[in-house]
Structure 1
């Protein structure tokens, strides 16, 4: 049997990480560049961070994307958790195949098709019942939740199927209701999956361009739409500064979430031992 070469593995892994993170690191470095040209270094400066603070369009779009991202993450976790629980625990029931297909559909249908479908739906609803009166934050949020529910449901479903049901069975034998068992026992055990689903939903919402383009209206331009429109006219150093701020916040959030997930896992392992 051929033993794996550890040096080769480390080299390949390092090259992979370099390929993934070198563009991000270069973006962070050039956010401190004083030059008007994004790819030409002149001297270290916080110039573009100061310029960013006075760019009302970019700041407003960033706050809007953050708000929609937070709303989408919480709503997707709330709905997707129940959807994943049904897929994992309720067995096959009448309409199970249709239910599964509807949950998984956003994963395989192109976002362009989803965006057009939702746009036509909202236009027809506004024509017949007067709602929504205009496209904006609400319509974008609905589209993002529709997309992210599927990811949360798949993550939660996988985690629930791996659970040892002995604790839940013991609680039921002691008189706990299924509702209480879910919130007191099952929910803490799948907390890591919920955090993962929340972070994934937030990232997908912040990053989404296609659905936002179809579902946005006047006064509801998200950050990806602003960045995309500006990039077509040329790279703007302010975007590097804003991207660096987002990278810093996301890194802090991921490290914090990872800390709590590891803490919860150690606690769970100690209890099971």
Structure 2
């Protein structure tokens, strides 16, 4: 009898203990999500800090360039802060050689953007939409032009021009820039062509539009953001190029070549001013592109 009572008591005690353990686990389970959320918030905060740190690292040289465009150095060495002034913006185009170099760079970049934009768009359309003999080889050559070192491309182009008895100068620089910019435009356009919905073009043809009207009113507007992105990329690559340009420019001086030559005697503050203006133009184009993309998205919705 006592043994039976003792056994029941033990069972009841174990049940109570189990219930307490369950209650404890339930309480712990209730507090676990809060702890998880706290750890998640800490991870997100660290990710935000890392993002801002990377952005600061990337844009620090640009910030210094903008700040020192307002500096008033005693000589040509614009590396220490001497005082605030606006005279370099007032005399931004007073340096004749620098103006000529900047004009050469901008005009070459614009020509490269237009020509490589047209050729790259046609190439991207062909690679993204059609199947033809030599398509894989064309893809290989296109990616090889991107991955090849610029020294190799510059030396190869110089050898080609010399063998053809072509005098290097302004137009050889344009040709060289178009050659290495076409691949970037083609890849950008091709990526957009692959994602196009063919049913939209089929619907336009069902409504009576011919091939040219369908391309002009349906396909081209959908490709326009990719064409603009490829063109702006070509412009940036062209105006920034130094290595290939140094091989094929001859007696023509571009902005990067002039800056490299000026480093031996000191870079004048006008370089910072022109760099700031170029950055402002690029930033303005980026803002306009974002605004237009949002408007197109809102119109589509």
**TM-score of the two chains, using structure 2 as the length reference:** 0.81
After superposition, residues 253-268 of structure 1 pair within 5 angstroms as: 253-267=285-299
Gap runs ≥5 in structure 1: 127-131
**CA distance in 1 between partners of 2:196 and 2:72 (Å):** 54
Structure 2 residue 59 is matched with structure 1 residue 21: yes
**CA distance in 2 between partners of 1:245 and 1:166 (Å):** 44
Q: Shift in Å at residue 211 of structure 1? A: 1.3
SS of residue in 2 equivalent to 1:195: helix
**CA distance in 2 between partners of 1:96 and 1:163 (Å):** 20
Q: Count residues with an aligned counterpart.
A: 261
**CA distance in 2 between partners of 1:143 and 1:207 (Å):** 13
**CA distance in 2 between partners of 1:103 and 1:173 (Å):** 36
1:99 maps to which of 138, 157, 160: 138
After superposition, residues 52-91 of structure 1 pair within 5 angstroms as: 52-91=92-131
Gap runs ≥5 in structure 2: 1-35
What is the aligned partner in structure 2 of residue 239 from structure 1? Answer: 271
**TM-score of the two chains, using structure 1 as the length reference:** 0.89
**CA distance in 1 between partners of 2:294 and 2:260 (Å):** 37
Structure 2 residue 165 is matched with structure 1 residue 165: no
Q: Shift in Å at residue 123 of structure 1? A: 1.5
Structure 2 residue 40 is matched with structure 1 residue 3: yes
Report the RMSD for the aligned CA atoms in angstroms. Answer: 1.8
**CA distance in 1 between partners of 2:191 and 2:236 (Å):** 20
Deviation per CA, 1:25-70: give whole Å up to 9, x if none: 1111111011234222121112333454221000111011111111
What is the aligned partner in structure 1 of residue 283 from structure 2? Answer: 251
**CA distance in 2 between partners of 1:39 and 1:210 (Å):** 25
Structure 2 residue 244 is matched with structure 1 residue 211: yes
**CA distance in 2 between partners of 1:211 and 1:255 (Å):** 30
**CA distance in 1 between partners of 2:189 and 2:69 (Å):** 38
**CA distance in 1 between partners of 2:53 and 2:261 (Å):** 33
What is the aligned partner in structure 2 of residue 189 from structure 1? Answer: 222
Structure number with greater Rg is: 2
What is the aligned partner in structure 1 of residue 79 from structure 2? Answer: 39
**CA distance in 1 between partners of 2:265 and 2:112 (Å):** 30
Q: Shift in Å at residue 236 of structure 1? A: 3.1
What is the aligned partner in structure 1 of residue 253 from structure 2? Answer: 221
**CA distance in 2 between partners of 1:214 and 1:254 (Å):** 31
2:148 maps to which of 97, 105, 109: 109
SS of residue in 1 equivalent to 2:164: helix
Contact 2:259 2:267 in 1 (8 A): no
